[in-house]
């Protein structure tokens, strides 16, 4: 990879990982437009680490509140303990499915047309859920059952173009949660999944004895981390002002652009 390719694709990954617009679609679009080859395993691992750092830093206080109740009797509060347990259990379906189906997904579904159709189709589903189920439950209404349902929906993100945050926010809206809670739970739920994906990538690197340009690796981690952190904050602010519809419209335009490139 050239330095320009590393910078651009790391920026794209960081900017789109947490938005409901599909990071896969953007990486494919960027590569097609500039004629770049697939970014490869090492780059994927670097950007997974970067976006993981972004989420850990941004939600460090929330995460600490979930950990404290497990440190000893009388520490923290029961609601935070339940939320932490819900996140762990809700993460299991996507992690297991990812481990079992990763090879098949890479071989069969990583196709421009599939990504385009998924970008459009799941974008319309997000619009429908946001319009049809405009309710107002907050994080205190996040039961284990609701969390598991969102976690099951997260498995659909294995289909490139779906958007992990997009499908989890969609399910949270269907279950009646307000947009801020849907987005925050989606971002918190991303942490175990991104950590698992990054860990699996590191294992593959070690087994394949992958060649690593440490300068490019570190740059990809840094750029995706900073971009990811900034866009978590920006997205949560934008949600309060404009809602989800602009992101749906953007997905439709992006999907059409990918179809144009595919044909």
pLDDT attached to residue 258: 87
End-to-end CA distance of the chain: 27
pLDDT attached to residue 74: 57
* Residues 148/199, Cβ–Cβ less than 8 Å: no
Q: Which residues of 135-159 are buried (b: 16+ CB within 10 A; e: fewer)?
A: eebebeebeeebbebbbebbbbbbb
Cα 56 to Cα 50, 75, 187, 219, 250: the distances in Å are 10, 21, 10, 19, 27
pLDDT attached to residue 52: 92
Low-confidence spans in the chain with pLDDT less than 70: 41, 72-76, 134
Alpha-helix residue ranges (DSSP H) falling in 59-111: 60-67, 78-104
pLDDT attached to residue 76: 63
**Which DSSP category does 263 fall into?**
-
């Amino acid at each position: 990879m050239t330095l320009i390719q590393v910078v651009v694709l790391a920026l794209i990954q960081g900017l789109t990982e947490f938005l409901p617009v599909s990071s896969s679609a953007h990486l494919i679009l960027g590569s097609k437009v500039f004629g770049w080859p697939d970014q490869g395993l090492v780059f994927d691992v670097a950007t997974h680490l970067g976006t993981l750092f972004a989420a850990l830093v941004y939600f460090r206080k929330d995460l600490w509140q979930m950990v404290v109740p497990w440190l000893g009797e009388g520490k923290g509060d029961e609601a935070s303990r339940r939320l932490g347990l819900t996140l762990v259990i809700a993460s299991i379906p996507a992690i297991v499915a990812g481990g079992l189906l990763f090879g098949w997904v890479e071989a069969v579904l990583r196709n421009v047309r599939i990504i385009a159709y998924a970008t459009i189709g799941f974008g319309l589903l997000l619009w429908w859920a946001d319009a049809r189920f405009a309710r107002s439950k907050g994080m205190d209404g996040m039961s284990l059952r609701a969390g598991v349902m969102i976690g099951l929906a997260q498995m659909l993100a294995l289909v490139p173009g779906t958007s992990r945050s997009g499908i989890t926010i969609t399910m949270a809206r269907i279950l009646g949660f307000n947009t801020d809670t849907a987005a925050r739970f989606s971002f918190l739920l991303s942490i175990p999944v991104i950590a698992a994906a990054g860990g699996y990538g590191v294992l593959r690197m070690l087994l394949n004895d992958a060649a690593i340009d440490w300068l490019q690796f570190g740059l990809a981690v840094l750029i995706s981390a900073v971009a990811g952190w900034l866009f978590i904050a920006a997205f949560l602010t934008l949600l309060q002002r404009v809602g989800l519809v602009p992101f749906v419209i953007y997905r439709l335009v992006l999907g059409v652009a990918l179809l144009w490139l595919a044909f």
